[in-house]
Structure 1
Amino acid sequence: MTAGVREPRAALETGVWGVVATPFTDDASSVDEPSLARLVQFSQTAGVRGLTVLGVFGEAASLTEQERERTLRVVVENTELPIVVGITSLDTGEVIREIQSAMAMTGPRFRAAMVQVNSADADEVARHLEAIVAATDVPVVLQDYPRASGVNISAEGLQTVLHAVPAIVAVKAEAPPTSPAVARILSGGTTASVFGGLGGQGLLDELVSGAAGAMTGFSFPEGLVRTIDAWHEGGFAAASHALLPYLPLINFEQQVGIALGIRKELLRRRGLITSAAVRSPATPFPAALSAHAAHHLELVAELQEA
């Protein structure tokens, strides 16, 4: 190895990395720690590979620094799973500070920092990540989620970044259409894992394109786990059969603008959290969809029993 050049890190492990919602009290004034503990414990029993905490759907941007720290502490205290920590800022210095704080909270359970693409310019993204790694020496999950970051980068640009920054252990590909994006990213010969997100909507096609699994939230994470297990055991047909009971619910849950509110309400109805409250700018669960949610949950229960 040439002096000063870092070796690639081990790719992020395949499977489902569950994105953890942050439960709030009814008035959303504080984090509901008992609900968070219950949700995390359930995620472990559902068979996920690890947890992604303080992601976009964890409403990390709405949390105070103290709430973020306490959220990480509750997660660490209630699961043995490895943790990917979401970083909210696009500013290099602030990202470094957030990562250092997260590492202090999670200790040996810290697996990687999930950092958002901060520019359409691949060279600028690479410089950003290189500065972060130089300061923290952490593995990086690079999140390409234009809806949250407001930044659009090409798959070819992501390939450039991956070759320039060997500390990247995974890409979270959430720029639709995701399945061709996964294929193009992987065609560059990266050693990093590529994961789909977006609630599992494109999971089957992402797996066909070479995805390592899903890094996402869903009110029935066990369904995504069964699908990926089936994929490894029996390919597309087996995975399709495993996912079929959950597809209507996935589509219902992933409605643009209200997806988080729906997911929290479904988690509440499953008894995993006490309140479906969200913080601005998220939109609360629309009361007009109450019967719809009930029908979807009944259908999943029936198909799981069949």
Structure 2
Amino acid sequence: MHRFDTSAKGVYLITVTPFTDGGALDLASTDRMVDFCLERGVTGLTILGIMGEATKLTAEEAKAFTRQVVQRAAGRVPIVVGVSSPGFAAMGELTRAVMDLGASGVMVAPPSTVRTDDQIAGYFDMVNETLGPVPWCLQDHPVATGVQMSPAVILRILKNSPHCVMLKHEDWPGLAKLSAIRAAGDKGEVRRVSILTGNGGGLFLPEELSRGADGAMTGFAWPEMMVDVVAAHAGGDVERAHDLFDAYLPLARYEQQAGIGLAVRKHLLHQRGAIASPFVRKPGPRLSAQDLADIDRLVRRQDKRLHELG
């Protein structure tokens, strides 16, 4: 099993959860999806996230899906599992289950019920008690949670959380926050942790890498975009990183539309052969004929631009 620690970098792809056309969990398609991601060079997988329809799964389905992903990955990359929950009994139970199945660590976001800095910090003190020595990722995603975490409170959490090894930075706008947290680590004000970014399929990825991010933890139907952009940036070819990113940006932007984004991603992954069905569990969107025409046009233009870039 790969370690999940503060040295994490690259692309931890947020995966979808495949279902059959009838809505059942599709474990055979899960294998296809894992293979698809690993073949495109991701350095980790993150499952049961917001775009993974985690809230639509039963507890047993969540465990079965985790087991399948871990077994298929066979130790080639770390597997991080979302275990966010307002209640600590459920969080602790799921964490113990997925770690026993071979997960590398877990990811936790604050519940919408915490608002002040003291409430947020107190919540994560209880997260530490619940998770014990399990390595975990702090997810800062105010668009989804409604919780605004300032740099000061994030640094406070990191100082109080010896087993928090990563910040998943998803605030928007958030470049100044990323810079402040990285600077604090560089100055020794707090231990350095991995920072992976998740903003809308990586919509600010090149800029975030320039601000000190170690990579990306998000989803997109073309995971190779993030892999290639991160690699080019790490290799010092920042202009190449921006050129590649720009080629994918129109489709990445389209995939981030509120309401239909997950359906777009699953449709594209189905088209690419990564999953057998584009089914989204209820409540979920359906794509119109106009949506599909838009997507086809964007894919054609993306292919053309990538060919031009070589």
Query: Is TM (by shorter chain) over 0.5?
Result: yes
SS at match of 1:166: coil
Q: Choose the corresponding residue for 1:39, options 16, 33, 38.
A: 33
Alpha-carbon separation, structure 2, partners of 1:120 and 1:112: 26
Q: Choose the corresponding residue for 1:142, options 122, 138, 141.
A: 138
The answer as to whether partners of 1:60 and 1:88 remain within 8 angstroms in 2 is no
Are 2:127 and 1:132 equivalent residues in the alignment?
yes
Alpha-carbon separation, structure 2, partners of 1:156 and 1:135: 23
Shift of the alpha carbon at 1:267? 0.6
Are 2:260 and 1:277 equivalent residues in the alignment?
no
Moved more, 292-301 or 46-55: 292-301
Shift of the alpha carbon at 1:186? 2.0
SS at match of 2:13: strand
Shift of the alpha carbon at 1:12? 4.7
SS at match of 1:216: coil
Alpha-carbon separation, structure 2, partners of 1:120 and 1:212: 28
Alpha-carbon separation, structure 1, partners of 2:289 and 2:82: 30
The answer as to whether partners of 1:172 and 1:195 remain within 8 angstroms in 2 is yes
Within 5 Å, which residues of 2 pair with 1:1-306?
Answer: 10-28=5-23, 30-79=24-73, 80-105=76-101, 107=102, 110-118=103-111, 119-136=114-131, 137-189=133-185, 190=190, 191-197=192-198, 198-306=200-308
Pair 1:104–1:204, CA change in 2 (3 A): same
Deviating runs (4+, > 4 A) in structure 1?
Answer: none
Shift of the alpha carbon at 1:72? 0.6
The answer as to whether partners of 1:84 and 1:111 remain within 8 angstroms in 2 is yes
- TM-score, structure 2 length as denominator? 0.89
Number of aligned residue pairs: 294
Alpha-carbon separation, structure 2, partners of 1:92 and 1:63: 18
Alpha-carbon separation, structure 2, partners of 1:100 and 1:122: 28
| Deviation by residue 1:202-246 (Cα, 9 ceiling, x = unmatched) | 101111111111100100001110000000112421211222221
Shift of the alpha carbon at 1:99? 0.7
Shift of the alpha carbon at 1:68? 0.4
Alpha-carbon separation, structure 2, partners of 1:200 and 1:61: 23
SS at match of 2:152: helix
Shift of the alpha carbon at 1:75? 0.4
SS at match of 1:99: helix
What residue identity is the alignment partner of 2:108? V
The answer as to whether partners of 1:194 and 1:211 remain within 8 angstroms in 2 is yes
- TM-score, structure 1 length as denominator? 0.90
The answer as to whether partners of 2:6 and 2:194 remain within 8 angstroms in 1 is yes
What residue identity is the alignment partner of 1:113? V
| Deviation by residue 1:281-306 (Cα, 9 ceiling, x = unmatched) | 33233332111111122222223333
| Deviation by residue 1:149-199 (Cα, 9 ceiling, x = unmatched) | 232222222121112212111111112113222112223324111121120
Task: Report the aligned-residue RMSD.
Answer: 1.8
| Deviation by residue 1:68-99 (Cα, 9 ceiling, x = unmatched) | 01101110121122101111312223211221
Alpha-carbon separation, structure 2, partners of 1:113 and 1:158: 18
Residue 6 of structure 1 is matched in structure 2 by none
| Runs of 5+ unmatched residues, structure 1 | 1-8
SS at match of 2:167: strand
Alpha-carbon separation, structure 1, partners of 2:106 and 2:289: 36
What residue identity is the alignment partner of 1:154? S
